[in-house]
């Protein structure tokens, strides 16, 4: 396995670094959106932050898909 990674060289590190940066930016976006938003249930803010932080990629994707349905519709 190690020789396979060594044969990829810098391209592997470049792709892995780019994907990591994209994920980090997406996670920060979701956390900021949770903090700024008002929810129907006040405890949902804490629950969403914990899901995003501890479920990693799946939690971020779940928030992007289902998070809008738990927000209140006040303007």
Instruction: Tell whether 16 is covered by a domain.
Output: no
Contact 41, 70 (CB under 8 A): yes
Measured in Å, how far apart are the chain's first and last C-alpha atoms? Answer: 54
Instruction: Tell whether 65 is covered by a domain.
Output: yes
Instruction: Tell whether 2 is covered by a domain.
Output: no
Q: Tell me, what DSSP letter sits at residue 1? A: -
Q: Which domain holds residue 69?
A: 24-75
pLDDT of residue 67: 82
pLDDT of residue 22: 94
Instruction: Tell whether 46 is covered by a domain.
Output: yes
Q: Is the pLDDT reported for residue 17 higher than 80?
A: yes
Instruction: Tell whether 63 is covered by a domain.
Output: yes
The larger pLDDT score, comparing residue 11 to residue 21, is at 21
pLDDT tens for residues 20-64?
999 999 999 999 999 998 888 889 899 999 999 999 889 999 999
Contact 60, 52 (CB under 8 A): yes
pTM beyond 0.85: the answer is no
Instruction: Tell whether 69 is covered by a domain.
Output: yes
Q: How many domains does the chain have?
A: 1
Instruction: Tell whether 55 is covered by a domain.
Output: yes
Instruction: Tell whether 49 is covered by a domain.
Output: yes
């Amino acid at each position: 396995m190690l020789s396979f990674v060594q044969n990829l060289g810098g391209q592997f590190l470049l792709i892995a670094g780019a994907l990591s940066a994209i994920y980090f930016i997406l996670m920060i976006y979701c956390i900021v959106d949770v903090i700024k938003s008002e929810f129907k249930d006040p405890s949902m803010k804490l629950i969403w932050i914990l899901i995003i932080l501890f479920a990693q990629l799946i939690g971020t994707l779940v928030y992007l898909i289902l998070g809008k349905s738990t927000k209140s519709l006040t303007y």
